[in-house]
Amino acid sequence: MKAPRIPVCEPCLAGNEERYVLDALRSGWIGSSGKYLSGFEAGFAAYCGAGHGIATSNGTTALHLALTALGVGEGDEVLMPDFTMAAVLFAVLYCGAKPVFVDAEPDTYNLDPRLLEAKVTRRTKAIIAVHTYGHPCEMTPILAVARRHGLKVLEDAAEAHGAEYRGRKCGSLADIAAFSFYSNKIVATGEGGMVVTGDDRLADRCRYFRNLCFPTKGPRDYRHKDLGFNYRFTNIQAAIGLAQLEKIEEYVEKRRAHARFYNARLAGLPGVSLPVERPWAKNVYWMYGVCLDARATGIDRDEFAERLLERGVETRPFFKPMRTQRPYQARFGRVKGRFPVSDRLAREGLYLPSGSGLKDAELERVCGAVRAALHRHPR
């Protein structure tokens, strides 16, 4: 009999989720207001160390809303990582702004702050710092570039719930931050997102644009001064979110324990590089991403992934560089210059199962499968 497949990432829903959802349902508050919604917004923002949380329909809309609140629009340039998830690129494109890509660091997979300043022009308006796979960006040099050139900084913390930079939580390190609560994120509500900020004015702008630009104060006269969006979140989903938030410390600890488990058993395999944790960082290992140097291992990433799947271990390849994506190239053409790290990560990277609910026996099976897959040299 074949052992069951180990999924890359599944939500844990064993807390108060069922109770809170039923309570929300029975109360009749199924729409975009109610005690779970306000409780989740306030609770999650406070957890991040920020004053305001504005829940949204998903992480992509949270990014778009945050950029809109910052005033990013037509003719602006936004510095962002080349190695990241498409939602970041798309949010910039929705604003009519031009994404300007920055190559990655080889070990944290984050945007390399040393490459940032050379890309600043008169048109640059903002920087998006994505905390990739749970490892925080090195914020001090990023914020320094922003300060020197009068730029805004948006954190994309979709993958970094609970991660810390020099003892402070991601989500409270810059002007504004966006989170996702998609089913595979550390705090999951199915679909969902949140903008988090300490800035009263930005928070008010987010609430305004989230709700079709109805005035946030005073009477509704159905005169709309700006082009708004319906990016609202529901009380039912927030009920799940609040139950998840009660367990966030446990989930983060589980992720970190899984990473220690993998690190201990996979260290020293030739040609395999493991995720890092810089001295100033608390990595929450949303994904446990490894890179495979085919010259040293004798097999490439896709072959490796296939062999793991034969042994019941699911994996996912890393992102493809944003500068190669058609929606970007259709508007702005091909990007000049080299992005050697981003290209290498896209070729060599994959992530191993990392869900908070994984058991040691499953992690052990993954490690056994990794060793076996590397051992069988073909050709």
Binding region for ligand PLP (CB under 6 A):
58-60, 84-85, 87-88, 130, 156, 158-159, 180, 182, 193
Name the residue number minimizing CB distance to ligand PLP.
59
In whole angstroms, the minimum distance from the beta carbon of 299 to ligand PLP comes to: 28
In whole angstroms, the minimum distance from the beta carbon of 62 to ligand PLP comes to: 7
For the chain, state the CA radius of gyration.
21
Strands (E), the chain: 52-56, 77-81, 98-102, 124-130, 152-156, 164-165, 168-169, 176-180, 193-197, 272-273, 281-282, 288-292, 316-317, 349-352
In whole angstroms, the minimum distance from the beta carbon of 66 to ligand PLP comes to: 11
Half-sphere exposure (CA, 13 Å, Cβ side) for 275?
30
Which residue lies nearer to ligand PLP by CB, 21 or 130? 130
Number of other residues whose CB lies within 10 A of the CB of residue 222: 6
In whole angstroms, the minimum distance from the beta carbon of 271 to ligand PLP comes to: 27
Which residue lies nearer to ligand PLP by CB, 159 or 164? 159
Q: Beta 124-130 vs 98-102: how paired, if at all?
A: unpaired
In whole angstroms, the minimum distance from the beta carbon of 89 to ligand PLP comes to: 10
Which residue lies nearer to ligand PLP by CB, 281 or 374? 281
Which residue lies nearer to ligand PLP by CB, 193 or 198? 193
Report in angstroms the alpha-carbon separations of 208 from 28, 54, 82, 204, 230: 25, 10, 31, 6, 10
Kindly report the length of the chain.
Answer: 379
Which residue lies nearer to ligand PLP by CB, 85 or 322? 85
In whole angstroms, the minimum distance from the beta carbon of 225 to ligand PLP comes to: 27
| Token pair 């069922």: residue | 18
Residues sharing a CB contact under 8 Å with residue 310, sequence separation 6 or more, in sequence order: none
Which residue lies nearer to ligand PLP by CB, 95 or 158? 158
